[in-house]
Amino acid sequence: MTNGPDFTLADCVLAPKVLLHDHLDGGLRPGTVLDLARETGYDKLPADTPDALAEWFATAADSGSLERYLETFAHTVAVMQTSAALSRVARECAEDLATDGVVYAEVRFAPELHTEHGLTLDQVVEAVLAGFAEGEARARELGRPIVVRCLLTAMRHAARSREIAELAVRFGDRGVAGFDIAGAEAGNPPSRHLDAFDYLRGQNSHFTIHAGEAFGLPSIHEAVSFCGTDRLGHGVRMIDDITLPPGAGPADHSYPGAQLGAIANYVRDKRIPLELCPSSNVQTGAVASIAEHPFNVLAQLRFRVTVNTDNRLMSNTTMSREFLLLHEAFGYGWADFQRFTVNAMKSAFLHFDQRLEMIDEVIKPGYAVLMG
C-alpha cells in the first residue's frame, strides 16, 4: 500500500468522497433529535443536551451486538414521523455530507418505519426527497456540490418488502436509486424476500442487501446466489471464506498464497461491491478493532471495497473520519483512497455515463490536486 504522508482529519475532508451506505435515521444531528422531540412531544430521550445525547448514542451503540445497536434507532425513528421532520433531517443530512467533502451519496431509510403518525409511504418518500433537494441546493450555494440519491429499505423481520420494492420502482425517476434490506440479520435470511428481489430484477432495478455483518457466509451466499444482489451491505464476513497463509498479518501487505473459497471467488470475479463500514463493524462486534478489520486483506486481494459510515450518529463518525481511521490502521495514501472512491462511484446505482462523469470530472481531478 502507498504509505502516504501523515493525514489530518482536515486533509481527509478535502478528498472527494463517495458514500454508498449511510442510514438517514442513523445520521441525525443530536441537536435536531432534541428539537424534533420537543416539537412532537416525544419524552423518552435518554439525555437533554446535544453533547450528552451524542455521547449516549455512541455509548449505547457500542454494544458488541447488532440487536442492541439497532435498539438505539427507536429514538431517532420516533422523532421522524412528520413530513416537516423528515425533510429537515434529509436536508441536514445532505448539508452535513457536503460539508464533509462527500460528492455523491446514496442514503437509505425504511419508509415503513415512518408511518406511525399517519403519513403514507408515498408521503414519507416525498418528504425525504424534498429535503435532499433543498440540501443539495444549499450545498451548491456554499460551493460544495453534492448529488444525493436515496435507497428504500425494507425491514428484514417484517413482510412489506414487495410493497417497498414497488415504491422504489415508482419513485425511480424522482431520486430513488434502489432498494435495500436491513434489520437484525440472524433468523431473517434474505431469501425470505425473494419475491421483492424477483420483482426488482424484472424491472431492471438495483438493490443491495445487508449481509455478512452479524451473520456469516450463508447470508452472503443467499444474498449473492439466490437473490442476485448488486452489492453487499457490509459483507465483512467474506473473510470467513478466505484462508490466509500461516503467519500472514497486516505487515505482510500482499497476502501471497491466500486461498479463496467458492463464494469469495464468485464475489471477486463478478466485482460485487462490498459496502464496508469499519467503525460500525467494531461497535456491533463484527470485528474486534479497526486494525483487525479485514478491509485491508480484502483491498489487497482486489475485492471491490468501498468505505462507508453506516450510522454517523451512532458511530460518532463521518466519511473523513473513516478515511483517517483506515489511514492510521493501514497506512493508506491518496492513491489508495482514490481507488476506493472510484470503486464506490463505479458501484453507484446511477447510469454508466453519470458515473463516468463523476469519476472524470470530480473525483480524479480532486485527487490529482491532493497528489500534486
Ligand X SMILES: O=c1[nH]cnc2c1ncn2[C@H]1C[C@H](O)[C@@H](CO)O1
| Binding footprint of ligand X on the chain (CB under 6 A) | 23, 25-26, 66, 70, 73, 77, 108-110, 113, 153, 182-183, 210, 213, 280, 310-311
Q: Does 275 bind Zn ion (CB under 5 A)?
A: no
Q: How far is the CB of 153 from ligand X (least distance, A)?
A: 5
Ranked by CB distance to ligand X, the top (closest) residue is 182
Distance (Å, rounded) from C-alpha 243 to C-alpha 254? 14
Binding site, annotated residues:
21, 23, 25, 183, 210, 310
**Residue among 185 and 336 whose Cβ is closer to ligand X:** 185
Enclosing H/E stretch for 106: strand 102-109
Binding site, annotated residues for Zn(2+):
21, 23, 210, 310
Q: Is 213 a catalytic residue?
A: yes
Q: Are 290 and 279 in contact (CB under 8 A)?
A: yes
Annotated active-site residue in 213, 222, 275, 322 = 213
Q: Are 208 and 275 in contact (CB under 8 A)?
A: yes
In this structure, what are the phi and psi dihedrals at residue 364, rounded to the nearest 5 degrees? -65, -45
- Judged by CB under 5 A, the residue of 180, 310, 322, 336 near Zn ion is 310
> Which of the stretches 11-19, 304-312, 315-323, 328-336 binds Zn ion when contact is defined by CB under 5 A?
304-312
Q: Which does 22 bind (CB under 5 to 8 A by kind): Zn ion, ligand X, none?
A: none
Q: Does 22 bind Zn ion (CB under 5 A)?
A: no
Q: Are 24 and 311 in contact (CB under 8 A)?
A: no
Q: How far is the CB of 80 from ligand X (least distance, A)?
A: 10
Q: How far is the CB of 357 from ligand X (least distance, A)?
A: 29
Secondary structure (H, E, C), 190-237: HHHHHHHHHHHHHCCCCEEEEECCCCCHHHHHHHHHHCCCCEEEECHH
Q: Does 336 bind Zn ion (CB under 5 A)?
A: no
Q: Are 284 and 27 in contact (CB under 8 A)?
A: no
Q: Are 244 and 297 in contact (CB under 8 A)?
A: yes
Q: Which does 25 bind (CB under 5 to 8 A by kind): Zn ion, ligand X, none?
A: ligand X
Binding site, annotated residues for substrate:
23, 25, 183
User: Which grid cell sits at 342?
Assistant: 472510484
Q: Are 304 and 271 in contact (CB under 8 A)?
A: yes
Binding footprint of Zn ion on the chain (CB under 5 A)? 310
Residues tagged active-site:
213
